[in-house]
């Protein structure tokens, strides 16, 4: 039984304490010792739904949970209970994560304008551009995070939203390329200027 349990966990989307609306999950009950394998689901208005647990192997039983939004108490055949809330993720926690990430992105954009990182102009410019590239990468990453949070919260993902995310991603990548390529051109120009100063004897 203990060998089969990890396999079952890998094959099924296991029910957690909170699941998103419309998401199906499988509730495993590996330690039941009942002669009849039934369960009852009680929702907030005391409606009940009877079902039958399906035996897998070595005494592991399961049933698929796919109820509407609400708070449910599940009573198994051995009189043990478990509560499952169908309501998506905590929206306030998700919003706090998004605000935190956006604050970091904004800080990475603004700090290079307010701070000098090194005495050398080239090194200082390189560090500033690293901040901008990191901010752009986080911006691209945050679009996927927002889509995941919206999906888990049960918000419909329209094609317009995916188009907006696509534009943000490609805009971020193109701007990262511009930041890197413009720095490369500056370094080349700096090397040419120094070489010219050496030839003309104006080397400081």
81 and 98 share one domain: no
The residue ranking higher by pLDDT, 55 or 176, is 176
Domain boundary among 86, 107, 138: 86
Domain of residue 38, residue span:
4-86
Domain boundary among 51, 71, 86: 86
- Whether 2 has a pLDDT exceeding 60, the answer reads no
Query: What would the pLDDT profile of 41-77 be if each residue is shown by its tens digit?
Result: 888 777 788 788 888 777 778 888 888 878 888 888 8
Q: Give me the pLDDT at residue 7, please.
A: 53
95 and 191 share one domain: yes
CA distance 88 to 69: 9
CATH number for 80: 2.60.40.10
- Whether 155 has a pLDDT exceeding 80, the answer reads no
- Those residues with Cβ within 8 angstroms of residue 21's Cβ, 6 or more apart along the chain or in another chain: 68, 69, 86, 87, 88, 154
Q: Is the pTM of this model over 0.85?
A: no
118 and 35 share one domain: no
Q: Give me the pLDDT at residue 59, please.
A: 74
How does the average pLDDT of the chain come out, rounded? 78
Are 69 and 83 in contact, with CB atoms under 8 Å apart?
A: no
């Amino acid at each position: 039984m203990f060998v089969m349990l990890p396999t079952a966990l890998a094959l099924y989307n296991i029910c957690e304490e909170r699941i998103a609306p419309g998401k199906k999950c499988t509730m495993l009950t590996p330690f039941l010792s009942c002669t009849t394998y039934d369960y009852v689901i009680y929702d907030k208005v005391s409606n009940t739904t009877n079902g039958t647990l399906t035996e897998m192997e070595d005494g592991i039983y399961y049933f698929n949970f796919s109820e509407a939004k609400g708070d449910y108490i599940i009573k198994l055949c051995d009189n043990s209970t478990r509560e499952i809330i169908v309501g998506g993720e905590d929206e306030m926690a998700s919003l706090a994560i998004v605000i935190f990430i956006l604050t970091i992105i904004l800080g990475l954009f603004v700090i290079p304008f307010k701070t000098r990182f090194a005495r050398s102009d080239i090194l200082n410019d390189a560090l500033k551009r690293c901040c901008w590239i990191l901010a752009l990468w986080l911006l691209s990453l945050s679009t996927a995070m927002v889509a995941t949070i919206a999906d888990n919260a049960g918000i419909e993902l329209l094609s317009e939203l995916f188009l907006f995310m696509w534009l943000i991603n490609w805009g971020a990548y193109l701007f990262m390329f511009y930041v890197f390529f413009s720095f490369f051109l500056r370094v080349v120009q700096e090397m040419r200027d120094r070489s010219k100063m050496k030839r003309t004897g104006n080397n400081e």
